[in-house]
Amino acid sequence: MTDNETASGESWLTTTSSAQPYVFALLVATGLFLEFTLHYYLHITVVYTQFFYLIVVVAGIWYGKKAIWIALLFGALQVIVAIYITGIFPFESLIRAAMLFIVALVVGTLSDYRNTSHIEVVDRNAKLHASQQAFETANKKLNLLSNITRHDIFNQLTVLIGYLDLARERITDTEVINFLEKSENAANIIRRQIAFTKDYQDIGVQAPQWQNVARYIETILSLTPLHDIRLTDDLGTLEVYGDPMLEKVFGNLVDNSLRHGEHVSLIRFSYQKYVNNELCIVYEDNGAGVAEEDKERIFNRGFGKNTGFGLFLSREILGITGLSIKENGQPGKGARFEITVPEGEYRFMP
């Protein structure tokens, strides 16, 4: 018994799930019956020997190179019985025996290689599964610690901002009030930054999935006060394979227009296909646009007048499944964001 067989708790009779010892024993018994009945008693030396190949091939598939012993058994019986009957050395029987040996060696070697590869794959999968479980457990613990810490910091910030507000109401010194306002602004920035860590923590935690983009836009319309801004959706039944946080990407784009567009009155979602079968989701508004020198910088963490995390977070979310985003609108005429979706990562539902 080999080390691999010992580790898996299997004997040489059951190295594969398809091995059936009783069926194999019946085949061997049939072969012996044909050898002694047809060859020994009836002196038929040709047709029945083809049955031996079936036995040898089955043995090779089920038991690997151990099939050589079966080939040697039937080959030796062929030669011995032929010598006993004819009284001379039978080269024809020797050739048949050699062919049985070669077939057993080839089939058995291939079968052993297959079984060894199967054991290695099973072992590798078991180790990967154990590693995945350990990773998931560690990730859950880290997320739990992060959530608890974030919650505690939020509570303390709320208390701090409350006391700063009370202090500002009771102090008349304008210079001190100015310091308190700056302190309160700093506390609010810290609060927003901590809120960002919650979103960033969730990126890539769940498996990507197919998502209906138009449904996300409907959600944005229902939750975001657009006032006099008209929003049009020309995406139809487009679905994109992406991180479950994909909704935040489109929400961030709309929020970006509301905050920085200055005079936005129209927002439009559309798409276009490229010649290489990539798809481009286009987001446009008719606001102030983005300055040429800022077209790439707006995706940097911390850039901007607010938290500076929205577009940075959007690029990170899209990157999980190989999507990308860029801005190529004309300054003064509106922003234009293009989200490139590779072939196979989008589909249109009927």
User: Quick one: three-class SS letters along 27-89?
Assistant: HHHHHHHHHHHHHHHCCCCCHHHHHHHHHHHHHHHHHHHHHHHHHHHHHHHHHHHHHHHHCCC
pLDDT at 53 over 50: yes
Reduce the DSSP state of residue 343 to 3 states and report it. Answer: coil
Joined together, the tokens standing for residue 35 give 């050898």
Higher pLDDT, 172 or 12: 172
Joined together, the tokens standing for residue 210 give 């197919």
Longest dimension (CA), the chain: 128
Neighbouring-strand partners of residue 242 = 209
- pLDDT band of 198, cuts 50, 70, 90: low
pLDDT at 192 over 60: yes
Q: Of 150-154, 225-229, 342-346, where does the model show the most confidence?
A: 342-346
Q: Residue 183 in contact with residue 164, Cβ under 8 Å?
A: yes
The predicted-structure confidence for 60-117, as pLDDT tens digits, reads as follows 888 888 888 888 888 888 788 778 777 787 777 788 888 888 888 888 888 888 888 8
pLDDT at 302 over 80: no
Distance of alpha carbon 229 from alpha carbon 258, whole angstroms = 9
pLDDT at 300 over 90: no
**pLDDT for the residue numbered 267:** 93
> DSSP letter string over 264-279?
--EEEEEEEE-TTS-E
The predicted-structure confidence for 252-294, as pLDDT tens digits, reads as follows 899 889 888 888 999 999 999 888 889 999 999 999 999 999 8
Report, in this order, helix, strand and coil percent for the chain, each rounded to 5.
65, 10, 25
**pLDDT for the residue numbered 281:** 95
**pLDDT for the residue numbered 285:** 93
- pLDDT band of 3, cuts 50, 70, 90: very low
**pLDDT for the residue numbered 128:** 85
pLDDT at 228 over 50: yes
**pLDDT for the residue numbered 24:** 77
| Dihedral over Cα of 62, 63, 64, 70: its sign | negative
- pLDDT band of 208, cuts 50, 70, 90: confident
Joined together, the tokens standing for residue 276 give 């290489």
Alpha carbon distances (Å) from 293 to 229, 296, 330: 27, 7, 12
- Top CATH class of 209-348 equals alpha beta
Mean pLDDT, residues 34-61 taken together: 76
pTM of the model: 0.52
Please report, for the chain, the start and end positions of each structural domain, with discontinuous segments joined by +.
1-202, 209-348
Burial (0-12, 13-18, 19+ Cβ within 10 Å), 106: middle
Higher pLDDT, 335 or 60: 335
- pLDDT band of 8, cuts 50, 70, 90: very low
pLDDT at 4 over 60: no
Reduce the DSSP state of residue 345 to 3 states and report it. Answer: coil
Encode burial over 313-333: b for 16+ CB neighbours within 10 A, e otherwise. bbbbbbeebebebebebeeee
- pLDDT band of 158, cuts 50, 70, 90: confident
